[in-house]
């Protein structure tokens, strides 16, 4: 099992980390750790900064949130 708090990046501000940490905690049982971390960054970038990703990435991210 991954220590969620060890995944915080030095550049993350408190808001980014709070939201990403919640995403990680809610989904840690649904995905393998590497995929979970990658999707958590995509989620933050899309939600907070409006970044776009390929449709497949967004579908998986949304699917994880809905389940």
21 inside domain: yes
Domain count, the chain: 1
6 inside domain: no
> 42: domain range?
15-66
25 inside domain: yes
- Which residue blocks in the chain are alpha helix, DSSP H? 14-27, 33-49, 55-66
Angle between helices 55-66 and 14-27 (to 10 degrees): 70
Residue 40 confidence (pLDDT):
95
Q: How far apart are CA 18 and CA 55, in angstroms?
A: 25
Q: What is the pTM of this model?
A: 0.86
5 inside domain: no
Contact present, 36 and 24 (Cβ < 8 Å)? yes
Predicted confidence band at 65 (pLDDT cuts at 50, 70, 90)? confident
Residue 28 confidence (pLDDT):
92
Predicted confidence band at 63 (pLDDT cuts at 50, 70, 90)? confident
pLDDT digits (tens, 9 = 90+) for 8-37: 999 999 999 999 999 999 999 988 999 999
3 inside domain: no
């Amino acid at each position: 099992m991954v220590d969620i708090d060890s995944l915080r990046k030095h550049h993350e501000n408190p808001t980014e980390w709070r939201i990403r940490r919640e995403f990680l905690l809610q989904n840690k049982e649904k995905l393998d750790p590497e995929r979970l971390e990658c999707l958590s960054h995509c989620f933050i970038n899309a939600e907070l900064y409006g970044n776009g990703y390929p449709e497949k990435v967004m579908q998986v991210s949304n699917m994880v949130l809905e389940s």
